[in-house]
Chains A and B, each alone.
Chain A
Amino acid sequence: MAWIAKNSAGATIVRRSEPYLTPALKAKLEADVLPRYPTKRAALLPVLHAVQHEHHWLPAQALEEIAAFLDLAPAQVLDTASFYEEFWLNPKGKYLIMVCQSLSCELMGQKGLLGKISRKLGIAPGQTTPDGKYTLMTAECLGSCGSAPCALVNEVLHENIRADNFERVLDTLE
């Protein structure tokens, strides 16, 4: 939910010496992404995507580095990053399973599907398995209503899902 206040005031930032926004990544972004926009701030979403793609989530230190890179205040970066559900400010599992729960998917059996996945993985939506392999989430409309129910596993969309088939798909993930 976009507007829930995040507890950032009392948070401690865990730091490491190695930067998240590596010189190589910076050079790539400076060459490919920054020239696309008339302001540096406009590159924020693409930069957040790029850093998250490398590290799987966005640690606070990475947000600070991005702020310095784009001449922004860290608070501005946090403000934007915390608004969008796709940006993860906490670690998530290696495989993020997002089960669509919007109307067409619910009409076509999403509730039963979610229940089965939840039981198989032993976690409720919003949780990550203890081994850090799977994170289960519900999602609002994934734009695949004609092939409901559907779910995203990382970047791959699965359509017309039948629970038994999908469980086999999950089993094949390394």
Chain B
Amino acid sequence: MPLAQPVLCKRIPTYPWGDPKDRHYVGYDQFTATGGYVGLTKALGMAPKAVIDLVKEAELRGRGGAGFPAGLKWSFLPPEDGQRRYLAVNADESEPGTFKDRLLIDFDPHLLLEGIAICMHACRLDTAYIYIRGEYHAQAKTLNRAIDEAYTHKVFGEGSRLGQINGLWPTCYVHRGAGAYICGEETGLLESLEGKRGWPRIKPPFPAVAGAFARPTIINNVETLAMVGPILDQGAAWFKSLGKGRPDGVPPTVPASFGPKLYGISGHVNRPGVYEENLGIKLSTLIEDHAAGMLNGKKFKAAIPGGISMGVLGPDEYHAELDFDIGRKHNCLGLGTAGVIVMDQDTDMVAVARNIARFFAHESCGQCTPCREGTGWMYKVLTRVEAGGGTLDDLDLLLEVSASMGAMPGTTICGLADGANWAVRTIVNKFWPEFEARVAPTRSNRVSLAVVGATH
């Protein structure tokens, strides 16, 4: 069932409720006049632990890519010891296909600030840093404007309505990144926040125990925190009435896909943009109803479900349901950021794979050898295949390299290489005939180790 009323887009005109042309910055006054900061007021009337329990009960899953339950993450914090504890807000939105957090920051930043304040109250965090990617110049300015308003109205700062936390008045700052995709990885983000190169850390210790400045730290995506205010305001039962429950026959320990979600859609569609819908919306519905169909009436060929690191959906997966269970059902990495990229019948999938491999080769931080070398290797092989100089050996090699790098095979610290290998592997596997037709049909006698994920 389509989402009846917008939640995150309540103040951001979005089809079908409004026209994007009418979008404008929503300041503190307009935000509060339209029900804003009510969730915060309710939260402040509750014990911190009760707020965490409510978010847990709502089963809010992280909206930044991994889909980890936010309430559970919050409950991992150790007991207070009177020393400082931090919130790092991940606004490093750099995953190709993803442009949803930007929408919230541009037009309704107080929704984020409300979630930040609630999280700081619930988790007893005294300082929040919004880590925003360096390229978001305008968005950093908008955030600072909204934060200034929030200080004026005692959300943060001296005399804050949150009261003192860990002996300090709660503060919130914008921290600008400087052009590195890896800083969206939560521990890479923390390293960068500390003024170092954004090299992901080996876990454990997890950030909840030893994060920023070796102190307990919560890291949440912008959209996740923006969802917290409405949940506090309207309750867990309301939130769970939206979206999609657990698949049939799955035990309650498996997280479900409750709530609305921002879907970014781009590529070969008539009306690209960010849309808010219930989790579980079909890709075909998103393309036809929201994005007004395929560009130039062409046929659907493939789509990235949620940022390029999630892999690809093929022509027979046009009706795939975009929820947190998509990875299991459609052999991709997951829903990711729900930044959908649509490709039409004329799209060269070899070029797509090459583009994606280049991205990861470019953005690998260089810390782990399998990723540093592997991503570059895949890019070179795909460039060769695209130029017509490839053989079947090259395709075997692609599958072999992609199967052996990443946190899941256990050869890298973070998941960047997993994103790279899922993307390349699913494209090569799902479009094998297209790749096969592009290379010379010769294979050496070498035995390929491409066993993981190879379906040909």
- Name A residues whose Cβ lies closer than 8 Å to a Cβ of B: 1-3, 36, 38-39, 41-46, 48-49, 70, 79-80, 83-87, 98, 101-104, 106-108, 139-148, 152, 155-157
Tell me, in angstroms, the Cα distance from A49 to B174 when the chains sit together. 13
Among residues of B, the one whose C-beta sits closest to the C-beta of A154 is B137
**Are B213 and A1 in contact, CB atoms less than 8 angstroms apart?**
no
Q: Of A107, A155, A156, which one neighbours B268 at CB under 8 angstroms?
A: A107
Among residues of A, the one whose C-beta sits closest to the C-beta of B84 is A38
Check B115 for interface membership: any CB of A closer than 8 A: no
Q: Which of A102, A106, A141 has the most CB of B within 10 A?
A: A141
Tell me, in angstroms, the Cα distance from A44 to B175 when the chains sit together. 11
Check B178 for interface membership: any CB of A closer than 8 A: yes
**Are A143 and B341 in contact, CB atoms less than 8 angstroms apart?**
no
Q: How far is the CB of B344 from chain A (nearest CB, A)?
A: 9
Check B347 for interface membership: any CB of A closer than 8 A: yes
**Are A143 and B198 in contact, CB atoms less than 8 angstroms apart?**
no
Check B195 for interface membership: any CB of A closer than 8 A: yes
Q: Which of B42-50, B89-97, B202-210 contacts A (4 or more CB under 8 A)?
A: B89-97
Q: Of B176, B195, B359, B363, which one neighbours A2 at CB under 8 angstroms?
A: B363
Tell me, in angstroms, the Cα distance from A38 to B190 when the chains sit together. 13
Check B454 for interface membership: any CB of A closer than 8 A: no
**Are B356 and A143 in contact, CB atoms less than 8 angstroms apart?**
no
**Are B341 and A145 in contact, CB atoms less than 8 angstroms apart?**
yes
Tell me, in angstroms, the Cα distance from A98 to B134 when the chains sit together. 13
**Are B96 and A145 in contact, CB atoms less than 8 angstroms apart?**
yes
Q: What is the number of residues of chain B that contact chain A, defined by CB distance less than 8 Å? A: 61
Tell me, in angstroms, the Cα distance from A102 to B354 when the chains sit together. 11
Q: How far is the CB of A54 from chain B (nearest CB, A)?
A: 15
Q: Mark B341-370, 1 if CB is under 8 A from A, else 0.
A: 101000100011001101101111111000
Question: A141-B94, A146-B264, A148-B266 given as contacts; is B177 within 8 A of A84 (CB)?
Answer: yes
Q: How far is the CB of A110 from chain B (nearest CB, A)?
A: 10
**Are B308 and A103 in contact, CB atoms less than 8 angstroms apart?**
yes
Check B98 for interface membership: any CB of A closer than 8 A: yes
Tell me, in angstroms, the Cα distance from A48 to B176 when the chains sit together. 11
Question: A49-B178, A143-B99, A145-B272 given as contacts; is B195 within 8 A of A106 (CB)?
Answer: no
On chain B, the residues within 8 Å of A48 by CB distance are 178
8 A Cβ contacts from B86-108 to A: 93-99, 102
**Are A107 and B195 in contact, CB atoms less than 8 angstroms apart?**
no
Q: List 20 additional contacts besides A2-B363, A49-B176; criterion CB under 8 Å.
A: A1-B362, A3-B364, A3-B367, A45-B178, A85-B180, A86-B178, A104-B267, A106-B351, A107-B268, A139-B135, A140-B94, A140-B362, A142-B135, A143-B133, A145-B267, A146-B265, A146-B266, A146-B273, A148-B267, A156-B137
**Are B96 and A84 in contact, CB atoms less than 8 angstroms apart?**
no
On chain A, the residues within 8 Å of B341 by CB distance are 103-104, 107, 145
- Name B residues whose Cβ lies closer than 8 Å to a Cβ of A: 84, 93-99, 102, 133-138, 171, 173, 175-182, 192-198, 213, 264-268, 272-274, 304, 308, 339, 341, 343, 347, 351-352, 355-356, 358-359, 361-367, 372
Tell me, in angstroms, the Cα distance from A86 to B94 when the chains sit together. 14
**Are A83 and B102 in contact, CB atoms less than 8 angstroms apart?**
no
Tell me, in angstroms, the Cα distance from A156 to B195 when the chains sit together. 26
Q: How far is the CB of B235 from chain A (nearest CB, A)?
A: 32
Q: How far is the CB of A116 from chain B (nearest CB, A)?
A: 19
Q: How far is the CB of A86 from chain B (nearest CB, A)?
A: 4
Q: Of B95, B176, B178, B267, which one neighbours A107 at CB under 8 angstroms?
A: B267
Q: Which of B182, B197, B213, B364 has the most CB of A within 10 A?
A: B197
**Are A42 and B194 in contact, CB atoms less than 8 angstroms apart?**
yes
Among residues of B, the one whose C-beta sits closest to the C-beta of A147 is B272
On chain B, the residues within 8 Å of A83 by CB distance are 180, 197-198, 365
On chain B, the residues within 8 Å of A101 by CB distance are 355, 358
On chain A, the residues within 8 Å of B133 by CB distance are 143
Q: Which of B135, B137, B268 has the most CB of A within 10 A?
A: B135
**Are A103 and B196 in contact, CB atoms less than 8 angstroms apart?**
no
On chain A, the residues within 8 Å of B266 by CB distance are 104, 108, 145-146, 148
On chain A, the residues within 8 Å of B99 by CB distance are 143-146
Q: Which of A36, A45, A152 has the most CB of B within 10 A?
A: A45
**Are A3 and B365 in contact, CB atoms less than 8 angstroms apart?**
yes
Q: How far is the CB of B201 from chain A (nearest CB, A)?
A: 15
Q: Of B171, B180, B194, which one neighbours A84 at CB under 8 angstroms?
A: B180
**Are B180 and A2 in contact, CB atoms less than 8 angstroms apart?**
yes
**Are B178 and A103 in contact, CB atoms less than 8 angstroms apart?**
no
